[in-house]
Structure 1
Amino acid sequence: MKVTVVGAGAVGATVADNIARKELCKELVLLDIKEGVSEGKALDMTQTAAILGFDTKIIGSTNDYSKTAGSDVVVITSGLPRKPGMTREELIGVNANIVRGVAENILKHSPDAILIIISNPMDTMTYLALQATGLPKNRIIGMGGALDSARFKCYLSQALNCSPADLNAIVIGGHGDTTMIPLIRYATWNSVPVTNFLSEEQQKQIIADTMVGGATLTKLIGTSAWYAPGAAGAAMVEAIVRDEKKLIACSVALEGEYGQNDICMGVPVILGKNGWEKVIDYKLNADEQALFSKSADAVRNMNDVLKTLA
């Protein structure tokens, strides 16, 4: 297996670091437009191999897409990160051109690659990549639900004073502060519904904290988070390259699922060697379905901005 990460900023470098440590591929390419950044970070990671005991070959490259040739999976993190007070939606004008160009250049050298999109606004960038490349829908996957679900489990574990590893919980909908939907009705602690242990007030607080999880970190750090997004992206790569058939919330093209068409949004999917292989129907109740439809409307409004771009 060969994996490429485009964008050697904090998120991209963290994705690459996790991939290397887990030995998810024999060859890992880290590519960036800034001279020396990807080469330096690749060398830095390589120097940890003797300490951490991995054998992944890491190659850094400044905008030389020929180095990415033959990649099986490509993670796209390129674009501007959020700043305090900035929404993911505000990034669309700049990042759309970046993501389109990256996807086109990648496919010139790796026509069979599966693309994982992390660049924000993620659902819209995933939709853009699908429209711009014409790839089969199973090979375009947006990372958002995996991250939001991890944050959901984090807040649940704190409220329950339990290990996050003992929790199953998922977030669907758009990857935005007002569009994501933490499905607390489906969240379990070792197969027991968490609602058995949490008051209604606690549940509401956990949902609220999850929805602003990214914005909270942006306010604290001064830019977008990277440790959890990087780990989430690497977890998706792992599910694909190891053909794990793992259920992860991802932004994918919907064709009637959850009542939506012509849109990419976060839903539970099975990830394996072919990319996303099928959508899992969680049988939403009326309130949850209404939230999902409202989220879809918001994502479509962002997608409409693409029509105004040159």
Structure 2
Amino acid sequence: MVNKITVIGAGNVGATCAQRAAEKELADVVLVDVVEGMPQGKSLDLCEASPVEKHDSRVTGSNDYAQTADSDIIIVTAGIARKPGMSRDDLIKTNAGIVQSVVGEAAKLSPNAVIIIVSNPLDAMCHVALKASGFPKERVIGMAGVLDSARFRYFIAEALDVSVENTHAFVLGGHGDTMVPLPRYSTVAGIPITELMEKDKIEELCKRTATGGAEIVSLLKTGSAYYAPASAAVEMAEAILKNKKKILPCAVMLDGEYGYKDLYIGVPVKLGIGGVQEIVEISLTDEEKTALDNSADAVRGLVGTLAELGY
């Protein structure tokens, strides 16, 4: 049986998710958006590229959810994007309503799916999606650390003039300015970057990673990042569909792990069939734990705002 991925939101992130998933032949893809004609047009365009790209995945555009039934993965990208000077937190009022609505619709038709949240502010939107879907926490996951770690990996490779394939990195915490890059767990061909770079340079790369999304927003001026976020979401989808059991940093609901409870925050997890198969707890220094506590407090603030708004 052919896998099915539903992508909700046919903007730049959603359309690129559909493209990445189709070209990897992970599944047939249904691209959903409220704008009439847009998901249909982008889907047809992607299908017409398939002979050149040499894949047989089907991409279907729709303005309703009927064709999404029995999806294996639901990737949620719907919502307004950040504008220059706008923080992820500023998005919460508008995007909470959107995510609640689209997740509720899609979950009814695909009760066994795994939901991957990309919409911002990401950690808060995971809380909204968990409640709207009624799914177990293992099947509602936020795409955060994969993207943040990819940015950190690229900056490390660029600074050291090495292949990105040799770089590995971990970024934990909330998906925002309080995220926590972990240089001790970041390596080049197995060598910790603390052995390869001066402390000041590492701190510079950590800061750039934390503001990586804002840097792109400031350059584009009329939009936000979409190539890397789409790649990160599709890597998660691939790990789940192929039961790869990849260890990836993702936003998950914690139940006492790392000292947090009833809170979505980015930590290393094992992804495979069914979503989160295991939460991996790593040891943190006092300084790292303090930074993670600070990030957790920021997420709690967003959850508090959701509660005030009735979500």
TM > 0.5 between the two? Answer: yes
Question: Counterpart of 2:179 in structure 1: which amino acid?
Answer: M
User: Is residue 2:250 matched to residue 1:250?
Assistant: yes
User: Equivalents in 2 of 1:282, 1:213: separation in Å?
Assistant: 25
What is the CA distance between 1:133 and its match in structure 2? 2.4
Match of 1:15 among 2, 14, 17: 17
What is the CA distance between 1:194 and its match in structure 2? 1.1
Aligned to 2:168: 168
Question: Counterpart of 2:66 in structure 1: which amino acid?
Answer: S
Question: Counterpart of 1:273 in structure 2: which amino acid?
Answer: I
What is the CA distance between 1:131 and its match in structure 2? 2.4
Aligned to 2:289: 289
**Superposed counterparts of 1:184-263, under 5 Å:** 184-222=183-221, 223-263=223-263
User: Equivalents in 2 of 1:70, 1:274: separation in Å?
Assistant: 14
Aligned to 1:60: 61
User: Equivalents in 2 of 1:42, 1:131: separation in Å?
Assistant: 30
User: Is residue 2:33 matched to residue 1:32?
Assistant: yes
User: Equivalents in 2 of 1:267, 1:134: separation in Å?
Assistant: 22
User: Equivalents in 2 of 1:32, 1:228: separation in Å?
Assistant: 21
Deviation per CA, 1:3-44: give whole Å up to 9, x if none. Answer: 10000000000111000000001x210000100000000000
Question: What's the Cα RMSD here?
Answer: 0.8
What is the CA distance between 1:224 and its match in structure 2? 1.1
What is the CA distance between 1:127 and its match in structure 2? 1.3
Aligned to 1:48: 49
What is the CA distance between 1:108 and its match in structure 2? 1.5
What is the CA distance between 1:303 and its match in structure 2? 0.7
**What SS does the aligned partner of 1:282 have?**
coil
Q: TM-score, normalization: structure 2?
A: 0.97
Deviation per CA, 1:40-96: give whole Å up to 9, x if none. Answer: 00000001100010000111001x111100101100000000000000000000000
Question: Counterpart of 1:233 in structure 2: which amino acid?
Answer: A
Question: Counterpart of 2:193 in structure 1: which amino acid?
Answer: V
Question: Counterpart of 1:209 in structure 2: which amino acid?
Answer: R
Deviation per CA, 1:197-238: give whole Å up to 9, x if none. Answer: 101111111101111100000000122110000111111111
User: Equivalents in 2 of 1:224, 1:87: separation in Å?
Assistant: 12
Deviation per CA, 1:110-141: give whole Å up to 9, x if none. Answer: 11111000000000000111123221110000
After the TM superposition, list the runs of 4 or more consecutive aligned residues in structure 1 that deviate by more than 4 angstroms: none
What is the CA distance between 1:281 and its match in structure 2? 1.1
Question: Counterpart of 1:59 in structure 2: which amino acid?
Answer: T
User: Equivalents in 2 of 1:145, 1:211: separation in Å?
Assistant: 11
**What SS does the aligned partner of 1:48 have?**
helix
What is the CA distance between 1:307 and its match in structure 2? 1.3
Aligned to 2:179: 180
**Superposed counterparts of 1:66-77, under 5 Å:** 66-77=66-77
User: Equivalents in 2 of 1:142, 1:152: separation in Å?
Assistant: 18
Aligned to 2:142: 142
Moved more, 140-149 or 124-133: 124-133
Deviation per CA, 1:177-214: give whole Å up to 9, x if none. Answer: 2x100101111111111111101111111101111100
User: Equivalents in 2 of 1:289, 1:131: separation in Å?
Assistant: 28
Gaps of 5+ in 2: none
Question: Counterpart of 1:182 in structure 2: which amino acid?
Answer: P
**What SS does the aligned partner of 2:15 have?**
helix
Question: Counterpart of 2:187 in structure 1: which amino acid?
Answer: T
User: Equivalents in 2 of 1:266, 1:108: separation in Å?
Assistant: 27
User: Equivalents in 2 of 1:42, 1:16: separation in Å?
Assistant: 8
Question: Counterpart of 1:14 in structure 2: which amino acid?
Answer: T
Deviation per CA, 1:215-273: give whole Å up to 9, x if none. Answer: 00000012211000011111111111111000111000000111101100100001101
Question: Counterpart of 1:247 in structure 2: which amino acid?
Answer: I
Gaps of 5+ in 1: none
